[in-house]
Structure 1
Amino acid sequence: MTIIDVAKQAGVSPMTVSRVINGDPGVRDETRELVTTTIRTLNYTPNLSARSLVTSRELRIGVIYANPSAAFMSGFLAGVFEEASARAAQLILLKGRQGGVPTHAEIEQLIASGIGGVILTPPLGESVEVRQILRAAGLPMAVVAGRVSDAISVGIDDHHAARDMTRHLIALGHRRLGFIVGNPDQSASLARLAGFTAAAAEAGVETCIAHGDFSYTSGLVAGELLLNDTTPPTAILASNDDMAAAVVSVAHRRHLEVPRDLSIAGIDDSIAATTLWPPLTTIRQPVQELAAEALRLLIDEMRAPQRKGAHHIARMLDYTLVERDSTAPPQVLG
């Protein structure tokens, strides 16, 4: 018997059951009596984690993630752990199996642990299925690097970021550009593609496009496709650093010198950007700061749940174009 079973039997959310168990004064008397009666009827015994919420329910936060980019997750976890430590918040992690969406049962088990809110990483932040489960439980949510209308969203302006990097490559003299799209289930992928396309159309340059999913492996496949083109691009922009790093590897295998024979750029400014040879020209997406800001906003809403419309907050942080050695003018201007 779990808190989910009690909630279903009583016709309320799991969070309401938690509030009753913990003596929250914000619960109506009739609701409290209904939940209490249901608990007795089902012979439910609150678990240890639920009992621990008596003094700081709002600071027990679930983190659900399933992201193929190790670099992104490294920055995200650093930011969310540091902010949680500063706020004395307890984080409960749930990872999707093999990088996929966690099962309904796994998410319900996380809810049953007594969490007061959830932070979601891409691509799960834009999963309608996941958000529906959490919304039904009455939990506030914060989405990092994604845009949704029913949760706090924190990210950068992906369209402008890709547009600015594309303009940079064009300013170097490149007239045939390649682009690798990220995970199609993420709004950032479409926004970055739109930014690239807009800048290319504005300058009247040729483009070729390949599709990936933000993973290094997908970048290897996409890089091969672009360079196998009859007229290969002189510069390739990948939607993140992991895929850009893969393109650098493909270039090396083909005995192409970067950036003399091929310019390569990415987005994120992850660890990979500075450990590659040559170091990667990229857009610095402040992943650590995004995670920390998302957690701050989530905690603020958890502490003031009566504040209507708070979950519609959309916050954008600044990005920076960082020029390194992986880009240069093409050998022959076209």
Structure 2
Amino acid sequence: MKKRSVTIEDVARVANVSRQTVSRVLNRLPSVSADAKARVEEAIAELGYVPNLAARRMGGAKSFLIMAINDRARTIENWAAGRGNDWVDQMLYGGMMACEERGYHMLFELVDTEPALAAGQMQRILTSLQPDGFILTQPHSENPKLAEQLKERGRPFVRIGLPNPDIPAVSVHMDEAGAARAAVEHLIDFGHRDIALLAGNKQYAGSIARREGYAEAMAEAGHEQRIEEGDFSYDKAAEIAAHWFDGDDGPSAIIAENDEMAFAVLREAGRRGIKVPEQLSLLSFEDTPGVRFSVPPLTAIRQPTAKMIGKACDLLMDRAEGKDAEEDVHVLPFELIIRETTGPAPK
């Protein structure tokens, strides 16, 4: 005989409360005493009750869904090439854990960066799923048309990126310019003067801020700047690194804006017998898990990706539960993790 599913009425009976009280606890609504809330939560655990999402959605305005929007082309390119995508992994980790803790679910969609395509894809998402809120990652967080589309539909959203006066919205980010300055200063402390920046892509406001931080630190030290755009691409970074190494004036230190480009630099240096860090220092942004297993392990700026997405989810869940954000800009700290790819400048 098939075992009967546990219902909300079963929970109410065991907790000795009304069905409405159980519903209010599940939906995190006010006006439930601490004692009743504790009894309901104990009954849920005892019975192994799993709330039905569809029923919860019919019982109120909330969908209990948070939607994260990511760059379609770049994500699929990395997956198709077999390189994976550690940034997406960290994004999902931070968001899913935050949502699970509060009874929500996180969804993930890939949207094109081309404005007309992005608007159509977003319209389909809004119509079919109707999440409680959206997380716009870069470069979508810099698209005012997407922001306007969400506002017109009355859907809250949080931008992952620096504040943008053209898109008034809650934003979560790290101090990108400060992180770039810290990277330059770390290398200058080792005596490096010719420090190159292997930049990402100007579509990303964070990449622009890193260039500005790099430029400021180099100017303050009286050193010339050397910036090449690697588009966050392994192959493009390999081409640039090969050009530098095969010339007569290669840099003594390189800052790569993501780990993938840093791995390309390591490969090209190894092919030419360039020792790291004895002949070349290398520092990366992101600090995804693979950097600890590179040879040698990479010095890196640790970007708090999981924490940023988790914070964005919390802000959207608060909004869905009627709580307004106390502030519009949330800056999370970065860390400089020193490993074995940075050292004294060659003499």
Which band: TM-score by shorter chain? 0.7 to 0.9
Correspondence list, 1:258-269, <5 A: 258-269=276-287
> Structure 2: which 5+ residue stretches go unaligned?
1-52, 79-84
1:164 aligns with 2:182: yes
Correspondence list, 1:66-85, <5 A: 66=71, 67-68=74-75, 70-85=85-100
Correspondence list, 1:133-212, <5 A: 133-148=149-164, 149-212=167-230
**TM-superposed deviation, 1:51:** 8.7
Question: 2:151 is matched by which residue type in structure 1?
Answer: R
Q: Where does residue 234 of structure 2 map in the other structure?
A: 216
Correspondence list, 1:1-334, <5 A: 52-55=57-60, 57=62, 59-66=64-71, 67-68=74-75, 70-96=85-111, 103-112=118-127, 113-148=129-164, 149-304=167-322, 307=324, 310=325, 313-332=328-347
**TM-superposed deviation, 1:248:** 1.1
Identity across aligned pairs (percent)? 30
Aligned length: 281
> Contact 1:274–1:280 at 8 Å: present in 2 too?
yes
**TM-superposed deviation, 1:53:** 4.6
**TM-superposed deviation, 1:315:** 0.3
Question: 1:157 is matched by which residue type in structure 2?
Answer: D
> Structure 1: which 5+ residue stretches go unaligned?
1-47
Q: TM-score, normalised by structure 1?
A: 0.77
Q: Residues 268 and 122 (structure 1 numbering): CA distance in 2 closer, same or farther, change over 3 Å?
A: same
Over the aligned positions, Cα root-mean-square deviation in angstroms equals 2.4
**TM-superposed deviation, 1:122:** 1.8
> Contact 2:111–2:122 at 8 Å: present in 1 too?
no
Question: 1:95 is matched by which residue type in structure 2?
Answer: L
**TM-superposed deviation, 1:195:** 0.8
Question: 1:80 is matched by which residue type in structure 2?
Answer: G
CA deviations on 1:184-210 (whole Å, 9 max, x unpaired) are 011111111111111111111233110
Q: TM-score, normalised by structure 2?
A: 0.74
> Contact 1:210–1:225 at 8 Å: present in 2 too?
no
Question: 2:68 is matched by which residue type in structure 1?
Answer: V
